[in-house]
Homo-oligomer: A and B are copies of this chain.
């Protein structure tokens, strides 16, 4: 039974890794080649929003992959709800190239369109962070899907960390309407920070 459960989380991890690897590599398709005759260098510089969006999404999917693995070192059993919540997480991950495209196309325009593009991007990140939290909360609650129950302190710490991430991304939805560029910069910094300091408690 235990080994079958183990195999079950192995399946989820392998499938999720596949989706993470494909989504992070597909991001390159959001980069458009400028169509100019002369002045290619300046045309590329003018397209900085698409490179900023590419870098940010790459860092975010990269850190999500790292954290997903950390999380599944603690989670050793699976059930239907976990499967469903993990699919929800993959949905928001696989969708990310779309709002990255919105940023690439509209961030340089400024105005309301830039704000809407960045707000949709921020909403996508927030939904991914919520799905991440739901996977974790479902897995540790009652200790059913983990090897040994977390101490109350570790459980509290983990919930604080997940909440902080979710709140920061939710805040960038609002910040998008003040300054889309600032919202994107905050998202990049948060992702880059988390590459060094993972959120899942098992790795602390």
Contact = CB atoms under 8 A, between A and B. Distances in A.
Interface in A104-132: 105-106, 109, 111-113, 116-117, 120
Q: How many copies does the complex hold?
A: 4
Contacts of A120: 44
A94 to B, nearest CB: 5
A94 B15 contact: no
Contacts of A24: 19, 90, 94
A196 B80 CA distance: 6
Nearest to A197: B80
A11 B84 CA distance: 23
A153 interface: no
Interface stretch (A26-34, A133-141, A142-150, A162-170): A26-34
Interface string A154-182: 00000000000000000000000000000
B94 A27 contact: yes
A36 interface: yes
A31 B91 CA distance: 14
Contacts of A22: 18, 21-22, 25-26
Interface in A84-112: 84, 87, 90-91, 94-98, 101-102, 105-106, 109, 111-112
Given A58-B94, A83-B195, 6 more contacts: A18-B18, A28-B95, A37-B113, A39-B113, A58-B91, A80-B195
20 contacts: A14-B17, A17-B18, A18-B18, A18-B22, A19-B21, A24-B94, A25-B26, A26-B28, A27-B94, A29-B97, A31-B101, A33-B98, A35-B105, A40-B106, A40-B116, A41-B112, A59-B87, A80-B195, A84-B195, A84-B196
